[in-house]
Amino acid sequence: MRTEHPPVTLLVSVVLTVLLIFISVVPERPFLSRWTDSNPFDTTRRSVDTGAVLSGSFNLVHPASNPLETLQQEVADGIHNPGSVALEAYNQGSVLVDVSPDYQIQYYTRSLKSGGSLVYFVVWLGNRAHIEVVNADGAIPGSDDTGDTIWLDGQQHLATVEEMANAPYAWREHMTLMAAMAFGFHGSVRTSNEGTVVINHVIHRVNPGRAALCIGPQGTAAIGLFDAAALHSCEQAIGAGPVILWRGKIANPHVSQETEEFIPFNPLGEDFVQIDWRRKVYMGTYPKSVVGIGTRPDGGFYLIMAVSYSIPGLELARQMKAMGCIDALGGDDDTSTQAVWRGVPVRDHQLRPVPDALSVYWRETP
């Protein structure tokens, strides 16, 4: 005789339903990088040059060269045409909203024919513009013994960019915070930035498997994979990804070979665990953040810090190229996409708190 167990069957169905609901609402990015527990870096070791505590495992990737030095040499050799002429032409089709007192930091908006919109800050790197990573609650990021990201106080810290920009810990003597945007990525458990972080020459965290934006001395900048040694050339650095524009070519998931216009997606081979999610976001119209680097005729550099709305990644990369950028690095996206100008959000929309903001200060005196 068969025995029926309707209550048990019902219970199993309920449990499965709850699990499916949980999976659907859990943050889609619990982690984005791979970590290694082999040969963990001694967390007590200090940088000889900066006195920074270096922690985590640095044997993930060993770049063949210093990306900052490589780009500087390419510019010196005339490999890249100055992009500032293209930028000036591009700006003619945009709306200038506001500028710093000396015009070295500019705030523009632009509506595209496709229906999307772009908000971007132009930063002419030099003595007046100071780039710095501001962390939620002024917390300090680092790495645990496996190389995974942590906040050094063991707590979780997240805030909106507006909250960070207006907090006392973002104040800098003789400087005005002009612009800030969310960048980097974080996991739902650790909350601190998964990528590299360097603040005012202090190396807080190294993730050589993920691309980073490096701000070097004398107004230089570069995007690339930086190991611990190469980071000594950076005054500021923040990891993000993926690279969407590389040496003037657009990252395109639909190509497998480099062409005159395109390169395959993820050209630097960043160690994204959820690479399919990155492709989905890039090809979709999700809000996105990106930083691009361009050069001037005098050999100097400029940054484009942009947030986009209803623009696919290929079109966003084209816009960065049209602004004269050589390389461009994507940052956080979707509801993490946010930027402020003089502490006020550039757009009202649903936001979630983030671990840090890439901030631009105007120095009162050079």
Report the pLDDT averaged over residues 5-14.
Answer: 46
Would you say how long the chain is, in residues? 366
272 vs 253 pLDDT, higher one: 253
What pLDDT does residue 110 have?
98
What pLDDT does residue 245 have?
97
User: Does the structure show a pLDDT above 70 at 30?
Assistant: no
Beta carbons within 8 Å of 194's beta carbon, 6+ residues apart: 31, 32, 33, 149, 184, 185, 186, 187, 207, 210, 239
Find, among 249, 234, 251, the residue nearest to 288 by Cα: 251
49 vs 139 pLDDT, higher one: 139
Lowest mean pLDDT of 167-181, 249-263, 269-283, name the range: 269-283
230 vs 273 pLDDT, higher one: 230
Q: Is the dihedral of CA 131, 132, 136, 141 positive or negative?
A: positive
Q: How many CA atoms lie within 13 A of 305 on its CB side?
A: 28
Confidence of residue 49 (pLDDT cuts 50, 70, 90): very low
Rounded Cα distance between 107 and 310, Å, is 20
Find, among 179, 184, 67, the residue nearest to 123 by Cα: 179
User: Does the structure show a pLDDT above 60 at 73?
Assistant: yes
What pLDDT does residue 355 have?
93
Report the pLDDT averaged over residues 97-101.
Answer: 96
What pLDDT does residue 20 have?
41
User: Does the structure show a pLDDT above 80 at 66?
Assistant: yes
Q: Are 243 and 328 in contact (CB under 8 A)?
A: yes
Percent of the chain surpassing pLDDT 70: 82
Confidence of residue 177 (pLDDT cuts 50, 70, 90): very high
What pLDDT does residue 187 have?
66
What pLDDT does residue 15 have?
41
Model confidence over 203-227: pLDDT tens digits? Answer: 999 999 999 999 999 899 999 999 9
Model confidence over 259-297: pLDDT tens digits? Answer: 999 999 999 998 887 788 889 999 999 999 999 999 999
Rounded Cα distance between 246 and 80, Å, is 12
What pLDDT does residue 58 have?
31
What pLDDT does residue 77 have?
84
Rounded Cα distance between 163 and 149, Å, is 23
Report the pLDDT averaged over residues 96-113.
Answer: 96
Rounded Cα distance between 270 and 243, Å, is 9
257 vs 8 pLDDT, higher one: 257
User: Does the structure show a pLDDT above 60 at 111?
Assistant: yes
